[in-house]
Structure formats: structure tokens, C-alpha cells
Amino acid sequence: MHRLGGVGLAAFERQIESQRSFAELSSELSKAQVDHLHSQLTQFRTALSHFAATHRDSIRRDPAFRHAFQQMCSSIGVDPLAGPRKGGWWAEMLGLGDWQYELGVQIVDVCVSTRERNGGVIEMSELVRVVSKLRGVSSGVITEDDVIRSIKTLQPLGAGYEVIDVGGGKKMVRSVMKELDEDQAVVLSEAQSEGGRIVEDILVSRRGWARERARAALENMLLRDGLCWLDEQDESTGRSYWVPSAMRWDE
Amino acid sequence: MSFTTHTTRSGFLLPSIHSVPPFFTEQPNPTTQSQNISQWTRLILAYARHRRLFVLRLEDAETSGGDWDEVLRNERINRRVLPSHLSAIMESMITNGQAVYEPPKQTRAVLLYWRLPEEWAEVLHSWATDTANLNTILTFYEITDPPVPSPLSDIPITLLRRVIAVLAKTGRAQVISTGRTGSGEENEGVRFFSGGK
């Protein structure tokens, strides 16, 4: 009987020898790959930095361009806010990390200062409007997209800032640690189309809710969450609810 | 619908919240209610200062035609402050030292402190200084109804008494009783001293 590799001590040595060779070869191969990858990354990074540096002003000023750039970054898996330095790569290249944080601070400012009248829920366009007013004209236009992104950077703070989709393309920003259930989202969106006023009848007729469900949702928002105000002098129903966050205020 | 400010006939700028219907209802949620009350308090004191009103009564919410209609009513949205609501607002103002029940021991009328007695004291003292009335005896009437209108014109006597008491505490005023008038009323006067603070 003749087995491959033979028998005896020599066979063991031969096996060890070949294992060693394979290991060497494999580490050589992976080293080459890593080197290649490194050089590719460096190249990519240089190109991206170059791009960012050349278009720095456009990125900071033009919301559409900024959005496109951010989309490009996310589609190639680059998180502009991640990086070795504080503020990340954006901060290094563009000072955009600071820009993003600065916007975050302004958002918090607006949310907190309007909380008294809206119970901690503010409509997105209203938020954008007030933040823009706060920033003045010179610092450029901001968009919903910027606000959403900034709110995401606020999430690690655990203050409960969250963007809620209430349907119909309307978004609201919640700045209190309260869960909004689905019914409340519906109430918010209906109130919005009514300029802030909402009554049981609207929910019953437009959404097909049972009267009890409508009443419970409204009373919860009123009594438990402080998200709406009561009007006992309503001409048609005698009792209506008003959602401050869905109301348009002129200062 | 959008909520806007409004300038009243007396030239007072009402804030946008005054055009919001639920602002005129007492809120069942305690947090919301306290916001409502504090907004009302701010509005009432600002209006009182604007029109130099010193007294707010529950009647002002019960019947129209008084000094407070522009604030306690909003005809444009057909809302008004109900007496029970006004009573709660008054109570909160008393608690926060922004008003006192006047006369005491009732809860239907308050004297508004849109300036605190301490602030009035400074106003009164600088008026006396500016008009060269230091060290002479002035009757209360001469203060509340001076020939040249002053910031103190028409200040209620009860408030004036408190204000003078503040000054007396720091040795800048002294109340002098000048006997009784023919009708039996006590005739009071006051003398101001320059006295540093």
C-alpha cells in the first residue's frame, strides 16, 4: 500500500513545511491587497478632499448642492461626521461639522423656546422658518433635509428629539420624551389642515373613527400630554381642541 | 388661518395669542393652565401700564362697557374671558405679588402692581426731587392731582400710602397728620427728604 506523502517522520516534516509555505504565501497576498486598498483609499480620500475643498463654498451655501454631496457620501458609505478628529471629516475639510452642530443648537433653541406654547411638538416648516429667522439672511438657506440631519446628530444626547411623519408629506419634530401613538399622529395631521382646530366630528367623518376613539385620543392629548388647548366657546360644537404646533403664528 | 397681532383703538398692540380662541378658556391640564395664566398676567399688566389702569374687577368680565373690554373680549373671534377664569388669573397674580386684593378681605377686585411699590417709591422720590418738593409738606391730593401731570397722576391713595411707607422705611419720607377736615376725614400730608438710599 502506498499512501500519498508516505509514512514516518519525514511525512510530518513535509506537512509542516508546506503549511508554512501556504501561510507565507497567504500573508504576502493579503499584504499586497491591504496595500492596494490603502493606496486606493488614499487616492479616493485625496480626490474627495480635493472636491470638497474646491466646492467648499457651494457646499456651505447651496442647499441643493449640499444635499447632493451628502447623498453621494452616504451612497459610497462615507459618513462625513465620522473621523479621527472632533467633528469628523467634515470639520477638517469644510468646517461643516461645526455648521451641523451649530444648526443643532439652533434647533434645540427653537424647540425649547416654543415648547411652552406647542407642548413640545413643532411642525417642520414652522421650525425651518423660525430657525432661518434666527440665523439671519447672510448665513445661507437651510432646508428640511439639513434639519433632519442635524436632529440625527442630536440623537446621542438622548433628549428625545425626533422627526415624526404625520402623513400627507407633513413632518413634525418632537422635542419631548413622549411617545406619540398613531392616533395622535392622525390628530396632528387633521388639525394641521384645519389651521389647528380639531373636533371629534372631523375625526369621525373623515377618518371613520368611532366617536369614543376620537374622544379618547383628543382627551388624552389635552389632559395627559398637554399637546392641545381646549376651547369651550366654540360656536358650532361648544367644545373644540386646538393644537398649537399645527397653528400658524405671526409674531 | 393665521394668528396675528392687533392694534386696539387705544393704540395697544395685542399679541398674536389674543386671537387664538382657546386662549379664552381655562385649561384642564395644569401645565397648559399655568402657561395660559402667565400669558394673561403679562397681557393684563402690559395693558394696565399702557392705559394707566390700577384696578381690575370681576365685573369687567361679567359686563361689557368697562375699561378692560379691549383685552378681556375679542369681538373678532367672538370670545371673552369668563369671570371664573378671570378670578383664577387674579388669584395667581396675588400669589406672585403682582397685585393685591383691594379692599382686602374680598376677592372681586384687585389693585394691580404693574410697578411694584418699591419701584413706585423711586418714581415718587425722584418726582419730589425734580419738582423741588423736598422738605416741604405735600398733601396726598397734591401728589395724585398735580397741576403738571406726573407719572403719579391718579395713583390710588391706598397704593400711594404703601409707596410712602416704603420711603419712610429708608428715612426718605415722613407721614404727617394735619388734623381733620371739615367733613371729618383725616387730612394727611407727607414730607420728603433727600436722604441717600
Q: What is the pLDDT of residues B74-101, one digit of tens each?
A: 999 999 999 999 999 999 999 999 999 9
- Optimal mutation site among B1, B6, B18, B25, interface A, most CBs of chain A within 10 A: B25
Residue B50 to residues A155, B20, B43, B45, B73, Cα–Cα distance (Å): 46, 22, 10, 9, 17
Answer yes or no: is pLDDT of A82 > 60.
no
Contacts of A233 in chain B (CB under 8 A): 21, 24-25, 78-80
Residue B191 to residues A98, B117, B141, Cα–Cα distance (Å): 63, 18, 13
pLDDT at B55: 93
Give residue B121's pLDDT band: very low, low, confident or very high (50, 70, 90): very high
Q: Percentages helix, strand, coil for chain A, rounded to the nearest 5? A: 65, 10, 30
| CATH code reported for the domain at A81-178 | 1.10.10.10
Rounding to the nearest 10 degrees, give the CA dihedral for residues A183, A186, A188, A193: -160
- Chain A interface residues (partner B, CB cutoff 8 A): 116-117, 119, 195-197, 222-223, 226, 229-235, 240-242, 247-251
pLDDT at A84: 47
Q: Percentages helix, strand, coil for chain B, rounded to the nearest 5? A: 40, 20, 40
Q: Where are the alpha helices (DSSP H) in B79-189?
A: 83-95, 117-130, 140-144, 157-169
What cell was used for A51? Answer: 472636491
pLDDT at B182: 57
Domains B6-112 and B117-192 share a fold: yes
The CA distance from B22 to B18, in Å, is 9
Tell which residue, B12, B15, B18, has the closest CA to residue B50.
B12
Q: Under DSSP, is residue A62 helix (H, G, I), strand (E, B) or coil?
A: coil
CATH 1.10.10.10 residue ranges in chain A? Answer: 81-178, 179-251
Answer yes or no: is pLDDT of A74 > 70.
no
Q: Answer yes or no: are the C-beta atoms of B125 and B192 closer than 8 Å.
A: yes
Give residue A94's pLDDT band: very low, low, confident or very high (50, 70, 90): low
| CATH code reported for the domain at B117-192 | 1.10.10.10
Q: What is the pLDDT of residues B22-46, one digit of tens each?
A: 999 999 999 889 989 999 999 999 9
Range in A40-44, A66-70, A77-81, A165-169 with the lowest mean pLDDT: A77-81
Own/partner pairs, B12-18, CB within 8 angstroms, 24+ separation: B12/B46, B12/B47, B12/B50, B12/B51, B12/B70, B12/B71, B14/B43, B14/B70, B14/B71, B15/B39, B15/B43, B16/A249, B16/A250, B16/A251, B17/A117, B18/B43, B18/B71, B18/B74
Answer yes or no: is pLDDT of A87 > 60.
no
The CA distance from B11 to B183, in Å, is 41
Residue B172 touches chain A, beta carbons under 8 Å: no
> ipTM of the assembly?
0.80
CATH architecture of B6-112: Orthogonal Bundle (1.10)
Contacts of B32 in chain A (CB under 8 A): 119, 226, 229
Nearest C-alpha in A relative to B32: A226
Residue B195 touches chain A, beta carbons under 8 Å: no
Mean of the per-residue pLDDT values of chain B: 88
pLDDT at B115: 93
Q: What is the pLDDT of residues B141-166, one digit of tens each?
A: 888 888 888 888 889 989 999 999 99
Strands of A16-136 (E only): list them.
121-123
In angstroms, the separation between the Cα of residue A224 and the nearest Cα of chain B is 7
Domain limits of chain B?
6-112, 117-192
B22 upstream amide cis, omega within 30 of 0 = no
Tell which residue, A185, A245, A190, A249, has the closest CA to residue A220.
A185
Q: End-to-end distance of chain B based on CA atoms, in angstroms?
A: 53
The CA distance from B91 to A18, in Å, is 94
Q: Answer yes or no: are the C-beta atoms of A188 and A243 closer than 8 Å.
A: yes
pLDDT at B28: 93
Nearest residue, CB atoms, B25 vs list A119, A230, A235: A230
% of chain B with per-residue pLDDT over 70: 93
Nearest C-alpha in A relative to B19: A249
Contacts of A196 in chain B (CB under 8 A): 1
What is the CATH T-level fold of the domain A179-251, as seen in this structure?
Answer: Arc Repressor Mutant, subunit A (1.10.10)
